[in-house]
Structure 1
Amino acid sequence: MRVIRYIFWGFAIIALVVVAVHQLTHMTETKSATEPTFQPEFTLANHFGEEVNATTYRGNWSLVFFGFTNCPDICPTTLAEFGRIMDGLGADAFKLKPLFITIDPERDRVADVAKYVSAFHPAIVGLTGTEAQIAEAARSFKAYYEKQPQESAPNGYTMGHTSAVYLISPEGVFVRTYGYGTPPGEITKDLQNRL
C-alpha cells in the first residue's frame, strides 16, 4: 500500500512540474509578444564630430548601449562583446551598426569618445552631445542614468546607468534588449536569424 502511495505522489509531482513549465513558457511568450515597442529619436555628434540622428542609421539593424568612457567594468565589457559580435557576424556585419551613446557629456567629448570606441572595434560608432541632447536620447530609449559622487573617480563622480543593450530594427523601432552578461554568441545567433 505504501509503494502505491509513493507512486501516486510521484506522478502527482511530475504532473505539477509539467503544468508549471507550460505556464511559465506561456507567460514568457505572452510577455514578449505584448512587450511595448517605441521608436527612439536623438540628435547627437558621432566620434568624427558629425551631427547624426536616429534616421542616420535607418536601413541597418542597430545595437545601442548607453555608457561612459570612465566606466571601470560594464562598459568596456559590453563594447568588447560588441567587437566579438561584429567578428562573429562575418560577411553580414555590414548590416549592423553598434552604437555607444555616452551618458557623461561633461567628461566625454568627441575626441574622448573616438579614442574609447576605437580601442574595441572599428565598426563601433561613439555618440556624444550636450547634456540636454543626452537626456533626450536616454528618455527616448527609456534608459536610466545618473551622476553618483565617488571620491576615487575622475572629477569625483561616476555614473549609474542602464546596462542592457537595445536592438533597433532597420525601420528604427525597438525590438528587444539583451541583458548585461548575455553571451556574445547568443546575441550573434539571434542577430543571424534577423539579418
Structure 2
Amino acid sequence: MRTRSRKSSRSRRCCGAAEGSRDDAPGASRMPCFGVDLAQGWDLRMDKVAAGRDRGGFGRGLAARRGFTLMEVVVVLIVLGILALIAVTRLEPRNPQAVAEADALRSVLRYAQSRAMSDVYTWGVSFTASGYTLVTGNTSQNPVLLGQSTPTHTLPDGVACSWALNSGADTIWFNWRGEPVTGIISTLDATAAPAGSPQTVTLTESEMPVTVTVTPFTGFVP
C-alpha cells in the first residue's frame, strides 16, 4: 500500500509539474500522462494479488490446480481395476487343460522318438479318444511313460482327442533314424515306409482345439 502511495504521489508530482509548466508558460506543449495511468493500473493489480494472498485464496487456487481430490483418486482406481479384470479374463485361454495336455504329448512323442533311435525296433504313441499309450515293436521292452508306472495316459474330463495320421492309422511310429514311419517294425528284417505327410493330433476343450504336429521325414515336433 505504501508503494502505491509513493508511486501515485510521484506520478502526480510529474503531472503537476507538467501542468504547472503549462500554466506558467503560455503556449507550451502539453505533456501526456500515459505513464501515470499505467503505473496506477499496475498498482491496482498488485494490490489485488496481495489481498488474495493474505486471505489464502491465491494459495488455495494453486493447490486446487495441482492435485486431485480423494474421491477422484478412488474412482480412477476402481476404473483401472475393472479394466485390468476384463483384460486378464480375455487374455486367459479358455482351454488351459488342452494346452497343458498338448505340451505333455509333445514331450511323450519326443521321448518315443529318442527310444526308437536307441533301438532297432520302432517306438511310438497310440491314440484313443480319451488318451494315449506309449508302444514299441520291441517285445523285450516294457514301455512306461516318464514319471508314471504305466504306459497309458488318460486325458482329463472335458478334453477330447482326435488325430489325422497316415492311412487312417491310430499310432505314430518312429524308426531307428527318428523318422516317422507308417508301420511297426518288430523283427530285424522288417521295414516300414516313411510317413510322407504331417501327422497331427488335436486336443479339444470348450470347442477350442490345440494341434500337435509331427513333421514328415525329420520327426520334428514343434
Asked which structure has the greater RCO (Cα within 8 Å, sep 6+), the reply is 1
TM-score category of the 2 structures, normalised to the smaller one: under 0.3
TM-score, normalization: structure 2?
A: 0.25
- TM-score, length of structure 1 as denominator length: 0.28
Higher strand share: 1
